[in-house]
Amino acid sequence: MKIYLDNCCLQRALDENIEKRAKFLKGTGIKPMDALHLAFAEEGGAHFFCTSDESFLKKAKKFAKETKPVSLFELMREIEK
C-alpha cells in the first residue's frame, strides 16, 4: 500500500500533467493548494490521500482518480484489512 506524504511534493518536479490536473481540480471548487497536493499524490501513484478537512474530502471523493481520498478513520480501516 502506497500512502502519500507531503514530502513527496519536494521529491517530484511540477510537470504539465500535474499542473493540468491541479487546474481541473481547482475548477471543481477544491482550494488551489489542496488541488495541487491531490494532483501530486495521483501522479505519484498513491493509493490513499488522508485528510482531516471534511469539505475537501467530500469534493475530492467526487473527482479523484485512482488515489482514494480518506479520513484518518477510513485509512485506519483500510490498513486493518
Per the structure, the count of domains in the chain is 1
Residue 1 forms part of a structural domain: no
C-alpha cell at 51: 485528510
User: Which residues constitute the domain of residue 70?
Assistant: 6-80
Query: Does residue 17 sit within a domain?
Result: yes
In a domain? residue 52: yes
Per-residue pLDDT of the chain (81 residues; tens, 9 = 90+): 555 555 555 567 789 999 999 999 999 999 999 999 999 989 888 888 999 999 999 999 999 999 999 999 999 998 888
Hey, what's the cell of 62?
467526487
Q: Which residue has the cell 483500510?
A: 78
For the stretch 38-53, pLDDT in tens is 999 898 888 889 999 9
Output the pTM of the full model: 0.83
In this structure, is residue 69 part of a structural domain?
yes
Q: Answer yes or no: is 63 within a domain.
A: yes
